[in-house]
Chains A and B, each alone.
Chain A
Amino acid sequence: MQNDLSYENVTMRFEGRSGAVQALERFDFQVSSSEFLVIVGPSGCGKSTLLHLTAGLYKPPTGRILLGGSEIREPGPDKAIVFQNFSLFPWKTVHDNIEFGLRINGIPAAEREEQIKRVIRLIGLDGFENHYPRQLSGGMQQRVAIARSFVLKPRTLLMDEPFAALDAQNRQIMQEELVRIWQTQRPTVLFITHSVEEAVFLADRVIVMTRRPGRVKEVIDITQITGENHWRSDPFDEVIRRAEFQDVRSRIWGLVKSEISVRN
């Protein structure tokens, strides 16, 4: 598989009131095209920073991030983010939220309507086109947020703890839904989570990051365990009871925990 995203020696520091914080240090990594990559690590390890850098919201002072061979310089629809708090425009309806990206990127009206219809069907929100975000549950809002990014056919989909604000049942449903939606287009996915279970269920590869300043601690290739037929296509409930699943989950949890407990 060709490399889609590559991180070359990426460093990021923030100047705070209590001095500089080193968020990322010499982060080096390659992500393949259409890969589902999940990043876990202790709080404050720079996971979100990594995602925001990939989105082009800011630029690393040293190092480069390449998307499809060219350096990321500014945000754009080829690398849309889905945020934890959904970040839907509250004054726009479901339809208008999804339309926003298409419209500002110059897609003609007829094609926009077709695309919106397709993705609203895909996320199962037919009939809710004219609802405002506040009229929807958290799970439904997150579907709209995913649709809003997905309709732009991004090369890379960046997901910043997208399901952390949902309750346990909704989270599980959304994990399965995401797999279904993702498989229709298979963009490269960079997914951040605190849930090791979620990581193991969804990922082709899981990156465990060290505590701050964040570096790659270990990479676990889930596809080596699952083989061709990845378990994310199976029901979550059933998968988490498998012995292989539990083994790799506790291994990854051990790695994350060691990063938390060494901390002062």
Chain B
Amino acid sequence: MADGSAEARASHLPAEAAPAVITRSLGDRIEALPNALRVGVMLFFWLVVWYGVVELFGVSKDFLPNPIDVISRIIRLAWEPIGAGALLTHAWASIVRLLWGFAAAIAIGVPLGLAMAYFRPLQWIVAPLFELFRYIPPIAWAPFAMFWFGAGSSAQAYVIFTSSFAPILINTFRGVQLVDSRLIDAARTLGAKSWTILFEVALPAALPHVVTGLRIGLATGWMALIAAEIVAGTGSRDGLGYLILQGQQQLHADLTIGAMVLIGILGSLIDLAIRTAEKRFAYWRD
């Protein structure tokens, strides 16, 4: 009897009691690599796959150039001018446009978001217009922007503004709304009046949300930028979107793809920069 029950009990155990065999799966090994190395290795892997596919199936250069063609096109772009100038001219033109549109979105979005959270009537006045506005895709603004600003940088910056504005406004508004009311009560009992509370309590408490809004705004702005350059960029002969369009019009697939790769790289660098900034602003959080 006693033996039997002991056995019965033991029979539940083996799975747990068996010594754990330490196995390192491929996933674990990749995860153990330093971030930059892992990204580098994986990007290289995909370049090899790309090259292999193109060469293996003998794909035409006009249909899909191999990565070496694309990379050498990017390198040549560094000094060979297309349109208004070489690579730096185009990248700089895109970034300046992005920053103008983004700055305008901050200048209007942050104060308006704050004001809407602070004065409730304003929220109800603005909301219907805003709800309509934010479902108009930025690219839909591009032709209209050309009526106002002509085909050029201002029109493109305006399109970026329309895409950055909504996330900045919404996140600022939500951030201020979500401020712990007990912090505001504490400030009031210490003698703070409404302006002090706005700038010294509500704004710092909402700052992590505001910065999140800026990050999303910059990312969506970057997406809209390229679209804007293609649709509304005929006036100025610069920008990364312009390069994409040139590649297509001159039937240079390597130029089009090269410009796309540059857009991806610049976009992720911008995001990296703002994430770093975000950490600095939220230093006091867990």
Where the two chains meet, the residues of A that have a C-beta atom closer than 8 Å to any C-beta of B are 52, 55-57, 75-77, 79-81, 83, 85, 87-92, 100-101, 104-105, 132-134, 148-149, 152, 158
Contact = CB atoms under 8 A, between A and B. Distances in A.
Contact of B185 (A57, A77, A104): A57
A158 B196 CA distance: 22
B23 interface: no
Contacts of A83: 182, 185-186
B201 A89 contact: yes
Interface of B: 180, 182-183, 185-193, 196, 200-201, 204-205, 207, 283-286
Return the 3 tightest CB-CB contacts between A and B, nearest first.
A101-B190, A87-B186, A77-B191
A190 to B, nearest CB: 13
Given A104-B191, A152-B190, 9 more contacts: A57-B185, A57-B188, A75-B185, A75-B188, A75-B189, A83-B186, A89-B187, A104-B193, A104-B196
A87 B191 contact: no
Contacts of A79: 189
A55 B193 CA distance: 14
B285 A90 contact: yes
Nearest to A132: B284
A76 B189 contact: yes
B286 A55 contact: no
Given A134-B285, A134-B286, A89 B191 contact: no
A57 B189 contact: yes
Contacts of A90: 284-285
Contacts of A81: 185-186, 189
Contacts of B185: 52, 55, 57, 75, 81, 83, 87
Contacts of A55: 185, 189
A87 B182 CA distance: 6
16 contacts: A56-B189, A57-B189, A77-B189, A81-B185, A81-B189, A85-B182, A87-B180, A87-B182, A91-B207, A100-B190, A100-B200, A104-B193, A104-B200, A105-B190, A134-B285, A152-B190
Contacts of A152: 190-191
A101 B285 contact: no
Given A87-B183, A87-B185, A89-B204, A77 B190 contact: yes
B284 A104 contact: no
A52 B220 CA distance: 45
Contacts of A57: 185, 188-189
A80 B191 CA distance: 8
B282 to A, nearest CB: 9
Contact of B189 (A80, A85, A91, A132): A80
Nearest to B281: A91
A56 B182 CA distance: 14
Contacts of B187: 89, 100
B65 to A, nearest CB: 51
Nearest to B186: A87
A152 B187 CA distance: 13
A11 to B, nearest CB: 22
Central interface residue in B186, B193, B204, B286, by most chain A CB within 10 Å: B186
A157 B183 CA distance: 17
A91 B200 CA distance: 10
Contacts of A100: 187, 190, 192, 200
A101 B191 CA distance: 7
B191 A105 contact: yes
A158 B182 CA distance: 14
A165 to B, nearest CB: 13
B183 A89 contact: yes
Given A75-B191, A77-B191, A91 B186 contact: no
B183 to A, nearest CB: 6
A91 B196 contact: no
Contacts of A105: 190-191
A56 B193 CA distance: 13
A104 B201 CA distance: 12
B196 to A, nearest CB: 5
B202 to A, nearest CB: 11
Contacts of B285: 90, 134
Contacts of A149: 189-190
A138 B284 CA distance: 16
B183 A80 contact: no
Nearest to B204: A91
Contacts of A56: 189
Given A89-B201, A91-B204, A134-B286, A80 B182 contact: no
B192 A104 contact: yes
A129 B122 CA distance: 41
